[in-house]
Amino acid sequence: MIPYDKALELALSCVSKPLPTERVLLLDAIDRVLASDIYANRDFPAFDNSAMDGFAIRAASWDKELRLVGEIAAGEHKEIYLNSDEAIKVFTGGAIPSGADCVVRVEDAVLDGNTLKVLKKPAVGQNIRKKGEELKLGELVLKKGTHLRAYEIGLIAGFGIPVIEVYQKPVVGVLSTGDEILDLGEQITKPTQIRSTNNYALVARLSQIGASTLHFGIFPDIKEQIAKAVELALSRCDVVITTGGVSAGEKDFVKEIIKDLGLELVFHKLLVKPAKPVLLAKGKDKLLFGLPGNPVSCLMALDVLVKPVLLKLSGREDYLPKFEVATLKRAFKRSDAQRREFLRGVCWSDSGKLFCDYSDKTQSHMLSSYIDANCYVIVPEGVSSLEEGQKVEILRF
Ligand code: AMP
Ligand code: MG
């Protein structure tokens, strides 16, 4: 059994470079990963403009009677020079005329006919958004490897860029194994049959992680059938995930088929709880993760081990899991202290401090332990009890 840190290192080392890139429309780029740096092709803001509806004046002449000489709306381009005894009405986003050095809010002035009286002394620069104050022409705005969220997409639109280069999404194939497993819609004919949860949860989670998914179905514990299905999946996908059949039982065939498929075993069996039997095998530009059938094992292995690999493959710079430290709300005890345990838990902030609690449903078949959970609470190897108020590591979903 290998420790989690080592397994993660080995798994990540199987990805030597990200997938190739492609060009997509900006609106198709949500949750994709930028594959080339984006530089400012213009100052941001592009010109000095008003942050308020108000009057552009010279700050030094604020206590004089000022003559209103015109107005500038957002988008209006006017060649105006403002003299010291003058004021110009400006709207939010409107260009500041040369000669003016501040904007007085509408509320801070009284207009009587064409005469403006300013009520409060303004500071130079007040309410003016300066050209280039946010981003300068030529400045690096977004680095390659950036995860594109709505915010970054808006920023790119602000530079008028309609098509961008992103990394291809990893194509991940999912297939489940088990004689007892039924798919949605299949008739239950024996009370000992169960519905498959794994393939549905995996496909859903994988699309959240930013992968394209292909679902290859559910296969009985027949070695040849599983081998054929995995072979097909490998031919179509960058990464294949199987669930079930990876432990030490007589009907656990996933490990046995690796050699026949021309794959090399990277590891099998981790010092973690749940998900001990996880297997990783690699071929040329292909990875096969054999995840255990227990629903929690399978999802937890996806979150803590497969996800970082997929993020790295997707070109993300920040592919490593971000562990945080939180204060445990309740003591925890376990009888088997050997492995690193990932409990399902909740974390929350209170008065600037991060707290966490864990689900009492600690076993690997209890998928409902995820209800309301938003993180894993981690119990280190060799530790059999945690105390209330103790600092522990957590990993948010
Ligand atoms: P295995 O890893 O094949 O030994 O399966 C471990 C446990 O997970 C057994 O109780 C299986 O019935 C259950 N299991 C396996 N595959 C699935 C699945 N796709 N959905 C839900 N439970 C499963
Ligand atoms: Mg099985």
Q: Domain segments of the chain: what residues?
A: 4-20+169-313, 21-43+133-167, 49-129, 323-396
For 167-211, the pLDDT digits (tens) are 999 999 999 999 999 999 999 999 999 999 999 999 999 999 999
Burial of 377 per CB tally in 10 Å (0-12, 13-18, 19+): buried
pTM (whole model) above 0.85? yes
Residue matched to tokens 């946010």: 134
The best mutation among 182, 186, 194 to test binding of ligand 1, ranked by most ligand atoms within 8 Å of the C-beta, falls on 194
Measured distance CA(205)–CA(315) in Å, rounded: 19
> And the tokens for 244?
């079930």
**What does the DSSP 8-state code read for residue 255?**
H
What would the two tokens of residue 183 be?
A: 């798919």
Residue 24 token pair: 């997509």
Read off the tokens for 396.
């948010």
Q: Is the CB of 364 under 6 A from ligand 1?
A: no
Q: Average pLDDT for residues 61-76, to the nearest whole number?
A: 97
pLDDT digits (tens, 9 = 90+) for 325-362: 999 999 999 999 999 999 999 999 999 999 999 999 99
Per-residue pLDDT at 10: 98
Query: 243 C-alpha to center of ligand 2: Å?
Result: 8
- The predicted-structure confidence for 290-326, as pLDDT tens digits, reads as follows 999 999 999 999 999 999 999 999 999 999 999 999 9
**What is the dotted CATH code of the domain comprising 21-43+133-167?**
3.90.105.10
100-157: per-residue pLDDT in tens?
A: 999 999 999 999 999 999 999 999 999 999 999 999 999 999 999 999 999 999 999 9
Give the pLDDT mean for 75-91.
Answer: 97
Written as one string, the DSSP assignment of 54-122 is EEEE-GGGTTS-EEEEEEE-TT-----B--TTEEEEE-TTPBPPBT--EEEEGGGEEEETTEEEE-SPP
- The enclosing H or E element of 377 equals strand 375-379
Residue 46, SS3?
coil
Residue nearest to atom 20 of ligand 1 (CA): 196
DSSP state of 306: I
Residue with the nearest Cα to atom 23 of ligand 1?
A: 293
Which helix (DSSP H) or strand (DSSP E) does residue 225 occupy? helix 223-236
The CB of 197 under 6 Å from ligand 1? The reply is yes
DSSP 3: -
Q: Which ligand is nearest to the CA of 363?
A: 1
DSSP 256-305: HHHHHTT-EEEEE-BSEES-TT-EEEEETTEEEEEE-SSHHHHHHHIIII
Q: Would you state the CATH architecture of domain 4-20+169-313?
A: 3-Layer(aba) Sandwich (3.40)
Report the alpha-carbon distance of residue 241 to residue 233 in Å, rounded: 9
Q: Is 290 in the pocket of ligand 1 (CB under 6 A)?
A: no
Residue 57 confidence class, pLDDT cut points 50, 70, 90: very high
Please state the φ and ψ torsions of residue 26, each to the nearest 5 degrees: -55, -40
> For residue 92, what are its two tokens?
């939010």
Q: What is the CATH number of domain 323-396?
A: 2.40.340.10
Residue 303 pLDDT: 98
Architecture of the domain whose range is 49-129? Beta Complex (2.170)
**Separation CA 280–CA 241 (nearest Å):** 9
- pLDDT of 218: 97
Residues near ion ligand 2 (Cβ under 5 Å): 178, 244-245, 293
Task: Supply the DSSP string of 177-209, one letter for each residue.
Answer: E-TTEE-TTPPP-STT-EE--HHHHHHHHHHHH
Report the run of H or E that residue 394 belongs to, with start and end.
strand 391-396
* Ligand 1 probe mutation, 243, 291, 363, 366, most atoms within 8 A of CB: 243
- 267: CA distance to ligand 2 center in Å? 19
- CA–centroid distance, 394 to ligand 1, in Å, is 26
Q: How far apart are CA 108 and CA 101, in angstroms?
A: 16
Residue 366: its pLDDT value, please? 97
Ligand 1 atom at minimum distance from 252 CA = 3
For the segment 251-281, what is each residue's pLDDT rounded down to a tens digit? 999 999 999 999 999 999 999 999 999 999 9
